[in-house]
Amino acid sequence: MLILTLLLLSFCGIAAFLFILKKKNMLNWMPQYVSQYGKRNKKPNEPIHLLFSIVDHYEPQWGKPNDIEVERSRVDRWLNDYPKMAKKHQDADGFYPQHTFFYPEEEYRYEHLNKIADLCKQGFGEIELHLHHHNDTEDNLRNLLTTFCETLHNDHGALSKDPETGELVYAFIHGNWALDNCDPTGNNCGINNELLILKETGCYADFTFPSAPHPTQPSTINSIYYAKDDPLAPNSHNTGVTAKVKQKPWGDLLLINGPLMLNWKKLKKGIFPQIENSDLRSGMEPTNDRVDLWVKSNIHVEGRPEWRFIKLHTHGTQEKDMDVLLGKPIDDMFSYLENTYNDGTNYVLHYVNSREMYNIVKAAEDGKTGNPNQYRDYILPRPQFKVNY
């Protein structure tokens, strides 16, 4: 009877665990998470260089306010408060924390971008592309991306040009996480060959994921990898080929993941670990425990484990989150990073934007070693931002 009881309890426990995995959309990525366990605990003999970046789904029209003054107040707070906070911090190379503003095409206003370009010109970050779309067409998507690139470059000095072709290039974050039509509801995209269109229009890397616990989360996690588009099917980026030293690029699009972990120090109902999905916001403040998990995620180009990439994401214009992103929580996070992960012996800290992160990935692929600071502009040069006062 005792054995039967134990077996029943074990079965119930497994069933409950599987129910939670399914409810949190974890079944897709949990196998790779488990397989990465041993790799996460490996530490190189030389100092670990941390490439630390924050990407922002920067949406001044979030919630569709009726009054443009709401939008202006959101942007103005960043213009006023971000420099005050960021100037208190520097990495090993003397750079301020870097913030990449992924600005949505459908929310474009000249005055907002002019102010953000001012922040970027001061050395606090750069501007890249964000897009929300639904039931789109290939021709319309190409036109949207190409035209918006030209606007950002011509009117604001944003974006780099490919040194070989002279064409504008950009980093990308897909709205609502639905890259390549991967939302299982069929919403928020509509384009099954989106990776190819991004490649054709100059996208050098995608920074959308992780999206867990959202069902758009791909099975490939904690990785820098290449995806090849199947133009007849959605979600082509679900799997791919890991970026490696001395390996040529593959497929159609490079994806740079942020950390996706389980936080066993923050349990729900005292049992289930919280999903650590790299999100910075109210309720997901950047605590020291979270910072330690980001470092432990061990995201790197295979063959260059001493360069670790930490990419976080946020929605920077939502009022409830700005106290986190512009106030004490983020201030304390940067202080912890600088005090704990920048001793020069075990760790060296580098604040980078998305373009610099991409450049350092490419330098790693080419077999470069040493201090990654020297590769911030390895392929794509820094834009020359324009500001009209």
Please list the pLDDT of the chain residue by residue as tens digits (389 residues): 445 444 444 444 444 444 455 556 789 999 999 998 877 777 777 899 999 999 999 999 999 999 999 999 999 999 999 999 999 999 999 999 999 999 999 999 999 999 999 999 999 999 999 999 999 999 999 999 999 999 999 999 999 999 999 999 999 999 999 999 999 999 999 999 999 999 999 999 999 999 999 999 999 999 999 999 999 999 999 999 999 999 999 999 999 999 999 999 888 767 889 999 999 999 999 999 999 999 999 999 999 999 999 999 999 999 999 999 999 999 999 999 999 999 999 999 999 999 999 999 999 999 999 999 999 999 999 999 999 98
* Of 203, 229, 61, 205, residue with least CA distance to 146: 203
- For the 47-375 domain, the top CATH level (class) is alpha beta
Each domain of the chain, given as residue ranges in start order, spans 47-375
Q: Is 362 helix (H, G, I), strand (E, B) or coil?
A: helix
Query: Which tokens sit at 233?
Result: 């099917």
User: Closest Cα partner for 291 from 86, 57, 82, 52?
Assistant: 52
Contact 307, 49 (CB under 8 A): yes
* Terminal-to-terminal C-alpha distance of the chain: 81
Whose tokens are 């991004």? That residue is 198
What is residue 37's predicted lDDT score, i.e. its pLDDT? 83
Q: pTM, whole model, 2 decimals? A: 0.94
The answer to whether residues 71 and 112 touch, using CB atoms and an 8 Å cutoff, is yes
For tokens 């794509």, name the residue: 380
Q: Give dist(CA 331, CA 12) in Å, integer.
A: 44
Picking from 291, 235, 239, 236, the residue whose alpha carbon sits closest to that of residue 263 is 291
Whole-angstrom distance, CA of residue 209 vs CA of residue 214: 10
Query: Residue 348: helix, strand or coil by DSSP?
Result: strand
pLDDT reported for residue 11 = 47
Residues 141, 170 contacting (CB under 8 angstroms): no
pLDDT at 12: 43
CA-based nearest residue to 220, from 247, 255, 253: 255
| DSSP notation for 264-280 | EEEEETTTEEEEE--EE
